[in-house]
Protein backbone atom coordinates (compact mmCIF):
# COMPACT_ATOMS: atom_id res chain seq x y z
CA UNK A 1 0.00 0.00 0.00
CA UNK A 2 1.22 3.52 -0.72
CA UNK A 3 2.11 5.53 2.35
CA UNK A 4 -0.34 8.29 3.26
CA UNK A 5 0.46 11.48 1.35
CA UNK A 6 2.39 14.08 3.31
CA UNK A 7 0.28 17.06 4.28
CA UNK A 8 2.19 20.09 3.01
CA UNK A 9 0.92 22.16 5.95
CA UNK A 10 2.87 19.86 8.27
CA UNK A 11 6.25 20.90 6.84
CA UNK A 12 8.61 23.73 7.64
CA UNK A 13 10.29 25.26 4.62
CA UNK A 14 13.59 23.38 5.21
CA UNK A 15 11.61 20.12 5.48
CA UNK A 16 9.83 20.89 2.22
CA UNK A 17 13.21 21.55 0.61
CA UNK A 18 14.57 18.20 1.68
CA UNK A 19 11.40 16.41 0.58
CA UNK A 20 11.70 17.90 -2.91
CA UNK A 21 15.42 17.10 -2.89
CA UNK A 22 14.69 13.48 -1.91
CA UNK A 23 12.71 13.12 -5.14
CA UNK A 24 15.83 13.94 -7.11
CA UNK A 25 14.36 17.33 -8.05
CA UNK A 26 16.10 20.61 -7.53
CA UNK A 27 15.26 21.96 -4.08
CA UNK A 28 14.88 25.43 -5.64
CA UNK A 29 11.30 24.44 -6.42
CA UNK A 30 10.56 24.38 -2.72
CA UNK A 31 10.66 28.16 -2.43
CA UNK A 32 8.05 28.46 -5.16
CA UNK A 33 5.83 25.82 -3.66
CA UNK A 34 6.10 27.63 -0.34
CA UNK A 35 4.96 30.88 -1.93
CA UNK A 36 2.01 29.18 -3.58
CA UNK A 37 1.00 27.75 -0.21
CA UNK A 38 1.45 30.81 2.00
CA UNK A 39 1.39 33.88 -0.26
CA UNK A 40 -0.96 32.55 -2.94
CA UNK A 41 -2.92 30.56 -0.32
CA UNK A 42 -3.47 27.93 -3.02
CA UNK A 43 -5.99 25.28 -2.10
CA UNK A 44 -5.22 22.86 -4.95
CA UNK A 45 -2.27 21.87 -7.11
CA UNK A 46 -4.11 23.30 -10.11
CA UNK A 47 -3.19 26.72 -8.75
CA UNK A 48 0.57 25.97 -8.87
CA UNK A 49 0.64 27.36 -12.41
CA UNK A 50 4.30 28.06 -13.07
CA UNK A 51 5.68 24.90 -11.54
CA UNK A 52 7.18 22.44 -14.07
CA UNK A 53 4.66 19.64 -14.70
CA UNK A 54 7.03 16.94 -13.42
CA UNK A 55 7.28 18.73 -10.06
CA UNK A 56 3.55 19.28 -9.88
CA UNK A 57 2.81 15.64 -10.75
CA UNK A 58 5.15 14.44 -8.04
CA UNK A 59 3.55 16.77 -5.53
CA UNK A 60 0.10 15.59 -6.51
CA UNK A 61 1.17 11.96 -6.19
CA UNK A 62 2.92 12.16 -2.84
CA UNK A 63 1.49 15.09 -0.97
CA UNK A 64 -1.77 16.81 -0.18
CA UNK A 65 -2.94 20.24 0.88
CA UNK A 66 -4.83 19.67 4.10
CA UNK A 67 -7.68 22.14 3.69
CA UNK A 68 -10.26 21.85 6.42
CA UNK A 69 -13.81 21.86 5.03
CA UNK A 70 -16.20 24.38 6.57
CA UNK A 71 -19.18 22.63 8.17
CA UNK A 72 -20.86 25.83 9.27
CA UNK A 73 -20.01 29.48 9.42
CA UNK A 74 -21.64 32.17 11.53
CA UNK A 75 -21.16 35.91 11.73
CA UNK A 76 -21.90 38.07 14.76
CA UNK A 77 -24.60 40.73 14.47
CA UNK A 78 -22.04 43.50 14.70
CA UNK A 79 -20.07 41.93 11.82
CA UNK A 80 -16.79 41.92 13.73
CA UNK A 81 -16.56 38.21 14.51
CA UNK A 82 -16.88 35.15 12.28
CA UNK A 83 -16.77 31.63 13.58
CA UNK A 84 -16.02 28.56 11.50
CA UNK A 85 -16.81 24.98 12.40
CA UNK A 86 -14.16 23.02 10.51
CA UNK A 87 -14.10 19.30 9.79
CA UNK A 88 -11.03 17.13 10.36
CA UNK A 89 -10.16 14.00 8.37
CA UNK A 90 -11.34 11.58 11.06
CA UNK A 91 -14.74 13.20 11.60
CA UNK A 92 -13.72 15.34 14.59
CA UNK A 93 -14.59 19.02 14.35
CA UNK A 94 -13.07 22.18 15.73
CA UNK A 95 -13.87 25.86 15.85
CA UNK A 96 -11.76 28.75 14.59
CA UNK A 97 -12.65 32.41 15.02
CA UNK A 98 -11.78 35.47 12.94
CA UNK A 99 -11.98 38.75 14.81
CA UNK A 100 -11.43 42.14 13.25
CA UNK A 101 -12.51 44.78 15.65
CA UNK A 102 -9.08 46.36 15.85
CA UNK A 103 -8.87 47.12 12.14
CA UNK A 104 -6.33 44.35 11.98
CA UNK A 105 -7.43 40.79 11.95
CA UNK A 106 -6.84 38.14 14.58
CA UNK A 107 -7.21 34.41 14.10
CA UNK A 108 -8.16 32.52 17.25
CA UNK A 109 -7.13 28.93 16.64
CA UNK A 110 -7.72 25.62 18.37
CA UNK A 111 -4.90 23.36 19.50
CA UNK A 112 -6.99 20.35 20.49
CA UNK A 113 -10.41 18.91 19.71
CA UNK A 114 -12.03 19.38 23.12
CA UNK A 115 -9.95 19.80 26.25
CA UNK A 116 -9.06 17.58 29.20
CA UNK A 117 -8.48 20.38 31.72
CA UNK A 118 -12.12 20.61 32.84
CA UNK A 119 -12.33 24.29 33.80
CA UNK A 120 -15.87 24.58 35.14
CA UNK A 121 -16.89 27.71 33.21
CA UNK A 122 -15.54 26.71 29.79
CA UNK A 123 -17.66 25.08 27.08
CA UNK A 124 -14.62 23.29 25.64
CA UNK A 125 -13.80 21.87 29.06
CA UNK A 126 -17.41 20.83 29.48
CA UNK A 127 -17.29 18.74 26.28
CA UNK A 128 -14.19 16.78 27.36
CA UNK A 129 -11.07 15.77 25.48
CA UNK A 130 -11.09 14.24 22.01
CA UNK A 131 -7.56 14.52 20.67
CA UNK A 132 -4.55 16.70 19.94
CA UNK A 133 -4.47 18.51 16.61
CA UNK A 134 -1.57 17.99 14.22
CA UNK A 135 0.71 20.79 13.10
CA UNK A 136 -1.02 20.70 9.70
CA UNK A 137 -4.47 21.05 11.27
CA UNK A 138 -3.30 24.11 13.20
CA UNK A 139 -1.63 25.74 10.18
CA UNK A 140 -4.69 25.00 8.03
CA UNK A 141 -6.90 27.01 10.42
CA UNK A 142 -4.71 30.07 9.99
CA UNK A 143 -4.57 29.63 6.21
CA UNK A 144 -8.35 29.35 6.18
CA UNK A 145 -8.70 32.68 7.97
CA UNK A 146 -6.10 34.28 5.68
CA UNK A 147 -8.10 33.10 2.65
CA UNK A 148 -11.30 34.61 4.04
CA UNK A 149 -9.47 37.92 4.44
CA UNK A 150 -8.00 37.58 0.94
CA UNK A 151 -11.46 37.02 -0.52
CA UNK A 152 -12.59 40.19 1.26
CA UNK A 153 -9.78 42.11 -0.43
CA UNK A 154 -7.63 42.23 2.70
CA UNK A 155 -4.95 39.60 2.01
CA UNK A 156 -2.31 41.10 4.27
CA UNK A 157 -4.60 41.95 7.12
CA UNK A 158 -3.91 38.91 9.28
CA UNK A 159 -1.70 40.31 12.03
CA UNK A 160 -2.37 38.27 15.13
CA UNK A 161 -2.73 34.61 15.89
CA UNK A 162 -3.89 33.58 19.35
CA UNK A 163 -3.89 30.02 20.64
CA UNK A 164 -7.03 30.71 22.64
CA UNK A 165 -9.49 28.50 20.82
CA UNK A 166 -10.36 24.97 21.87
CA UNK A 167 -7.83 23.06 23.93
CA UNK A 168 -4.76 23.53 26.08
CA UNK A 169 -1.84 24.37 23.77
CA UNK A 170 0.90 23.34 26.20
CA UNK A 171 -0.59 19.83 26.29
CA UNK A 172 0.15 19.69 22.56
CA UNK A 173 3.51 21.43 22.78
CA UNK A 174 5.45 20.12 19.77
CA UNK A 175 2.65 20.45 17.23
CA UNK A 176 1.83 23.99 18.40
CA UNK A 177 5.42 25.20 18.34
CA UNK A 178 6.09 23.71 14.94
CA UNK A 179 2.93 25.36 13.60
CA UNK A 180 4.12 28.66 15.06
CA UNK A 181 7.46 28.35 13.28
CA UNK A 182 5.63 27.81 9.98
CA UNK A 183 3.47 30.90 10.60
CA UNK A 184 6.57 32.94 11.39
CA UNK A 185 8.44 32.04 8.19
CA UNK A 186 9.15 35.45 6.63
CA UNK A 187 8.72 34.23 3.06
CA UNK A 188 5.28 32.84 3.84
CA UNK A 189 2.60 34.19 6.16
CA UNK A 190 5.36 36.13 7.88
CA UNK A 191 3.64 36.77 11.18
CA UNK A 192 5.77 38.50 13.76
CA UNK A 193 6.61 36.75 17.01
CA UNK A 194 5.10 39.49 19.18
CA UNK A 195 1.80 38.81 17.49
CA UNK A 196 1.48 35.12 18.20
CA UNK A 197 0.18 34.49 21.70
CA UNK A 198 -0.39 31.24 23.46
CA UNK A 199 -2.72 31.06 26.44
CA UNK A 200 -2.25 28.29 28.97
CA UNK A 201 -4.34 27.18 31.91
CA UNK A 202 -1.06 26.99 33.83
CA UNK A 203 0.91 23.96 32.66
CA UNK A 204 4.06 24.78 34.62
CA UNK A 205 6.42 22.31 32.88
CA UNK A 206 5.33 23.67 29.49
CA UNK A 207 6.05 27.24 30.60
CA UNK A 208 9.54 26.19 31.73
CA UNK A 209 10.08 24.47 28.43
CA UNK A 210 9.10 27.61 26.52
CA UNK A 211 11.68 29.52 28.55
CA UNK A 212 14.43 26.95 28.15
CA UNK A 213 13.86 26.59 24.41
CA UNK A 214 13.48 30.36 23.95
CA UNK A 215 10.14 29.91 22.24
CA UNK A 216 9.36 33.03 20.19
CA UNK A 217 5.66 32.75 21.02
CA UNK A 218 4.25 35.19 23.61
CA UNK A 219 2.78 33.79 26.79
CA UNK A 220 -0.57 34.38 28.46
CA UNK A 221 -1.45 32.57 31.68
CA UNK A 222 -5.00 31.98 32.87
CA UNK A 223 -4.79 32.87 36.54
CA UNK A 224 -8.46 33.43 37.54
CA UNK A 225 -7.64 33.54 41.25
CA UNK A 226 -4.63 34.38 43.39
CA UNK A 227 -4.90 31.54 45.88
CA UNK A 228 -4.51 27.81 45.43
CA UNK A 229 -8.02 27.14 46.83
CA UNK A 230 -9.56 29.80 44.62
CA UNK A 231 -7.96 28.38 41.50
CA UNK A 232 -8.76 24.80 42.40
CA UNK A 233 -12.46 25.59 42.61
CA UNK A 234 -12.44 26.79 39.00
CA UNK A 235 -9.61 24.77 37.43
CA UNK A 236 -9.39 21.15 38.59
CA UNK A 237 -5.90 20.73 37.10
CA UNK A 238 -4.56 23.33 39.53
CA UNK A 239 -4.09 20.28 41.76
CA UNK A 240 -1.46 18.98 39.37
CA UNK A 241 0.34 22.30 38.91
CA UNK A 242 -0.25 24.21 42.16
CA UNK A 243 -0.05 27.97 42.26
CA UNK A 244 3.45 28.02 43.82
CA UNK A 245 4.79 25.82 41.05
CA UNK A 246 3.03 27.91 38.42
CA UNK A 247 4.41 31.20 39.76
CA UNK A 248 7.87 29.69 39.98
CA UNK A 249 7.61 28.72 36.28
CA UNK A 250 6.40 32.24 35.43
CA UNK A 251 9.36 33.85 37.21
CA UNK A 252 11.68 31.48 35.36
CA UNK A 253 10.07 32.46 32.05
CA UNK A 254 10.36 36.21 32.68
CA UNK A 255 13.93 36.09 33.93
CA UNK A 256 15.17 33.71 31.23
CA UNK A 257 13.60 35.50 28.29
CA UNK A 258 13.26 39.02 29.67
CA UNK A 259 9.67 39.02 28.51
CA UNK A 260 6.33 39.99 29.95
CA UNK A 261 3.48 37.65 30.77
CA UNK A 262 -0.16 38.47 30.20
CA UNK A 263 -2.24 37.16 33.11
CA UNK A 264 -5.87 36.47 32.27
CA UNK A 265 -8.69 36.48 34.77
CA UNK A 266 -12.16 35.34 33.86
CA UNK A 267 -14.19 37.56 36.18
CA UNK A 268 -17.24 35.99 37.75
CA UNK A 269 -19.77 38.02 39.71
CA UNK A 270 -19.36 37.48 43.44
CA UNK A 271 -16.76 34.80 42.93
CA UNK A 272 -13.38 36.34 42.13
CA UNK A 273 -14.15 40.01 41.47
CA UNK A 274 -14.00 41.60 44.95
CA UNK A 275 -11.60 44.28 46.15
CA UNK A 276 -9.80 41.67 48.22
CA UNK A 277 -9.44 39.45 45.12
CA UNK A 278 -7.87 42.35 43.23
CA UNK A 279 -5.40 43.02 46.05
CA UNK A 280 -4.49 39.34 46.20
CA UNK A 281 -3.77 39.31 42.45
CA UNK A 282 -1.72 42.50 42.80
CA UNK A 283 0.36 41.04 45.65
CA UNK A 284 0.89 37.79 43.78
CA UNK A 285 2.23 39.17 40.52
CA UNK A 286 3.75 42.45 41.68
CA UNK A 287 7.40 42.46 40.77
CA UNK A 288 6.90 40.40 37.61
CA UNK A 289 6.85 42.15 34.24
CA UNK A 290 3.14 41.50 33.85
CA UNK A 291 -0.02 42.81 32.31
CA UNK A 292 -3.51 41.71 33.21
CA UNK A 293 -6.46 40.98 30.97
CA UNK A 294 -9.85 40.82 32.66
CA UNK A 295 -12.46 38.75 30.82
CA UNK A 296 -16.01 39.11 32.14
CA UNK A 297 -17.48 35.59 32.15
CA UNK A 298 -19.19 34.54 28.95
CA UNK A 299 -22.21 32.27 29.29
CA UNK A 300 -21.82 28.53 28.68
CA UNK A 301 -24.45 25.79 28.98
CA UNK A 302 -22.76 24.01 31.90
CA UNK A 303 -22.06 26.87 34.28
CA UNK A 304 -24.52 29.10 36.08
CA UNK A 305 -22.25 31.99 37.13
CA UNK A 306 -22.80 35.56 35.95
CA UNK A 307 -20.21 37.94 34.52
CA UNK A 308 -18.66 40.52 36.82
CA UNK A 309 -20.41 43.89 36.59
CA UNK A 310 -18.65 46.68 34.70
CA UNK A 311 -18.09 48.58 37.94
CA UNK A 312 -16.43 45.56 39.52
CA UNK A 313 -14.07 45.23 36.57
CA UNK A 314 -13.23 48.95 36.72
CA UNK A 315 -12.63 48.76 40.48
CA UNK A 316 -10.39 45.72 39.94
CA UNK A 317 -8.38 47.66 37.35
CA UNK A 318 -8.00 50.66 39.62
CA UNK A 319 -6.69 48.58 42.51
CA UNK A 320 -4.18 46.87 40.23
CA UNK A 321 -2.89 50.14 38.83
CA UNK A 322 -3.01 52.37 41.94
CA UNK A 323 -1.88 49.75 44.41
CA UNK A 324 0.56 47.69 42.40
CA UNK A 325 1.48 49.62 39.26
CA UNK A 326 -0.03 46.91 37.06
CA UNK A 327 -1.55 47.72 33.69
CA UNK A 328 -4.73 45.92 32.79
CA UNK A 329 -7.36 45.80 30.09
CA UNK A 330 -10.92 44.54 30.04
CA UNK A 331 -11.52 42.29 27.09
CA UNK A 332 -14.25 43.51 24.80
CA UNK A 333 -17.24 41.22 24.75
CA UNK A 334 -17.61 40.34 21.12
CA UNK A 335 -19.09 37.43 19.27
CA UNK A 336 -21.20 36.37 22.25
CA UNK A 337 -24.35 36.15 20.12
CA UNK A 338 -22.73 33.39 18.04
CA UNK A 339 -20.96 31.72 21.01
CA UNK A 340 -17.56 32.73 19.65
CA UNK A 341 -16.37 34.46 22.83
CA UNK A 342 -13.65 33.17 25.16
CA UNK A 343 -14.55 29.79 26.55
CA UNK A 344 -17.66 29.37 24.41
CA UNK A 345 -16.21 27.11 21.73
CA UNK A 346 -17.54 23.59 21.60
CA UNK A 347 -18.63 21.15 18.94
CA UNK A 348 -21.86 19.16 19.10
CA UNK A 349 -21.66 15.34 19.04
N1 LIG B 1 -6.70 26.52 27.30
C2 LIG B 1 -6.14 27.82 27.30
C3 LIG B 1 -6.58 28.67 26.14
C4 LIG B 1 -8.02 28.64 25.71
S5 LIG B 1 -9.20 29.49 26.67
C6 LIG B 1 -6.43 28.52 28.61
O7 LIG B 1 -7.26 28.05 29.37
O8 LIG B 1 -5.77 29.52 28.87
C9 LIG B 1 -8.82 31.22 26.43
C10 LIG B 1 -9.22 32.07 27.62
O11 LIG B 1 -10.65 32.09 27.80
C12 LIG B 1 -8.65 31.55 28.94
O13 LIG B 1 -8.12 32.61 29.69
C14 LIG B 1 -9.87 30.99 29.61
O15 LIG B 1 -9.76 30.94 31.00
C16 LIG B 1 -10.95 31.93 29.17
N17 LIG B 1 -12.29 31.41 29.34
C18 LIG B 1 -12.71 30.12 29.35
N19 LIG B 1 -14.04 30.05 29.53
C20 LIG B 1 -14.50 31.31 29.64
C21 LIG B 1 -15.79 31.89 29.80
N22 LIG B 1 -16.88 31.14 29.88
N23 LIG B 1 -15.87 33.23 29.86
C24 LIG B 1 -14.77 34.01 29.75
N25 LIG B 1 -13.52 33.53 29.58
C26 LIG B 1 -13.39 32.18 29.52
FE1 LIG C 1 -9.31 23.86 28.45
FE2 LIG C 1 -8.65 26.46 28.52
FE3 LIG C 1 -11.22 25.69 28.52
FE4 LIG C 1 -9.72 25.28 30.67
S5 LIG C 1 -10.31 27.27 29.80
S6 LIG C 1 -11.12 23.78 29.76
S7 LIG C 1 -7.77 24.79 29.74
S8 LIG C 1 -9.75 25.37 26.89
For residue 32, give the nearest of 46, 58, 50 by alpha carbon: 50
Mean pLDDT of the chain: 95
How much is the pLDDT for 349? Answer: 67
Q: Is 342 a residue of the active site? A: yes
The lowest-confidence range among 102-106, 197-201, 215-219, 271-275 is 102-106
Q: Which helix (H) or strand (E) is 201 found in, with range?
A: none
- H helix runs in 161-309, sequence order: 173-184, 204-212, 228-234, 243-257, 275-285
pTM here is: 0.96
The torsion angle over the Cα atoms of residues 99, 104, 109 and 115, rounded to 10 degrees, is -60
For residue 303, the ligand 1 atom closest to its alpha carbon is 22
Mutate to test the pocket of ligand 2, among 114, 123, 168, 197 (most ligand atoms within 8 A of CB): 168
* 76 CA distance to ligand 2 middle (Å): 23
Angle at 87 between CA 122 and CA 172, to 5 degrees: 55
The verdict on the CB of residue 188 being under 6 Å from ligand 2 is no
Residue 348 has pLDDT above 80, yes or no: no
How much is the pLDDT for 157? Answer: 82
Give the number of other Cβ atoms within 10 Å of residue 229's Cβ.
9
How much is the pLDDT for 144? Answer: 98
CB 98 within 8 A of CB 335: no
By DSSP bridging, strand 105-108 and strand 93-99 are antiparallel
Q: How do residues 46-56 score in pLDDT, each as one tens digit?
A: 999 889 999 99
Residue 347 has pLDDT above 80, yes or no: yes
Amino acid sequence: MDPAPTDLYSLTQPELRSLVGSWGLSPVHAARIWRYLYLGLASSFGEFGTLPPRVRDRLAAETRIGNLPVATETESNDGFTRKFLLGLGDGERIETVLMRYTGRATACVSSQAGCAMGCVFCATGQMGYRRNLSTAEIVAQVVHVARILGAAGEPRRLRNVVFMGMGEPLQNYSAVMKAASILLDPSGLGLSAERITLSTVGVAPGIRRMADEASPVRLAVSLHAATQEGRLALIPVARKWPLDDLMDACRHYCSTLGRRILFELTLIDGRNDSEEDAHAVGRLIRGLPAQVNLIPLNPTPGYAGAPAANEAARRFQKILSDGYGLRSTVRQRRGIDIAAGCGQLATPD
